[in-house]
Amino acid sequence: MPRVDADKATLYYESHGEGPAIVFAHGGGGNAASWWQQVPHFADRYRVITFDHRGFGRSKCEPEDVLAAYFADDMIRVLDDASIDQAVLISQSMGGTTAILTALAHPDRVAGIVMGNASGPVLTPEVVEALSNIEERAKKAGGLSNLALATDLAERDPALVFLYAQLSGLNPQRPLSVAALNAKIDLATLEALTMPIIMVTTDGDMLLPAPAIRSVAPYLKAEVVEIAGSGHSPYFEKPDEYNTVIDEFLLKIGW
């Protein structure tokens, strides 16, 4: 699979299918393999790009260079290497920062954005409160992955919980810094965003609860869709419902 050099990193990505391009940007507990329930669903109609953020999965980077400041340039390096002029960016959690920073820096390259359980760099008071003790809560819970899924999922589907942990374990094992993986921006710059944006939230998100997500929506001029019965990772826990939301968004924007 392709690799492309970026500033202080080598990025791994995959390309599946043909058609209009959609790019999946994973969260802090994931990597390109996390989208195993999305790639087969969309690759018969779209060119599906998955990638490992710098320092995750198979993308190589020194720990001190795993910074959100590089994310937009990394995305453009992947798009350029894959000869993609424009794409819809479908993000999860941390990946929302990549999507918004890319759209701000290169609006002509982004046809639309899906913010999946993601606030991006939009730090409303509700988001700041939610993020303020994530590292401490993750430590107490025995790891970030234990906060990224619904509390009752282990009871309902222990195999799925095991798989999530296995996929997350493919990432380098290091403490995740919320500050390093986010970015501070002037909220006034968001006025420049004109591409369609949708925000996906869930009723069981323990990392970024629905009220925090909804507090961000006005700044992005985004519609909010809530998926019931899922924690922070509906793409993983409720793939049928999640994929349907994405299908409807892509159809709505004519992609």
pLDDT tens column, 153-168: 989 999 999 999 999 9
For 93-145, write each residue's pLDDT tens digit.
Answer: 999 999 999 999 999 999 999 999 999 999 999 999 988 877 777 676 666 66
Note the Cα 161 to chain centre separation in Å: 19
Token output for 1: 């699979």
**Non-local CB neighbours of 4 within 8 Å, separated by 6+ positions:** 10, 11, 13, 77, 78, 80, 81
Domain that holds residue 51: 3-252
pLDDT at residue 254 above 70?
Answer: yes
CATH code (residue 207): 3.40.50.1820
Distance between CA atoms of 209 and 152, rounded to whole angstroms?
16
Q: Name the helix (H) or strand (E) containing 88.
A: strand 87-92
Average of per-residue pLDDT values in the chain: 93
Distance between CA atoms of 89 and 96, rounded to whole angstroms?
9
* pLDDT for the residue numbered 172: 87
Distance between CA atoms of 255 and 253, rounded to whole angstroms?
6
**Which residues pair with residue 11 across a beta bridge?**
4
Question: Residue-wise over 214-228: b if at least 16 C-beta within 10 A, else e?
Answer: bbbbebbebeebbbe
Phi, psi (deg, nearest 5) at residue 9: -160, 155
Distance between CA atoms of 180 and 28, rounded to whole angstroms?
11
Structural domains in the chain (count): 1
* pLDDT for the residue numbered 179: 64
Task: Tell me the pTM.
Answer: 0.95
12: amino acid identity, one letter? Y
Can you tell me the mean pLDDT for 23-44?
Answer: 97
Percent of the chain with pLDDT over 90: 82
Under a CB-based contact definition with an 8 Å cutoff, are residues 215 and 128 in contact? no
Higher-pLDDT residue of 21, 28:
21
Distance between CA atoms of 48 and 26, rounded to whole angstroms?
13
Token output for 185: 């921006």
pLDDT at residue 66 above 90?
Answer: yes
Higher-pLDDT residue of 140, 184:
184
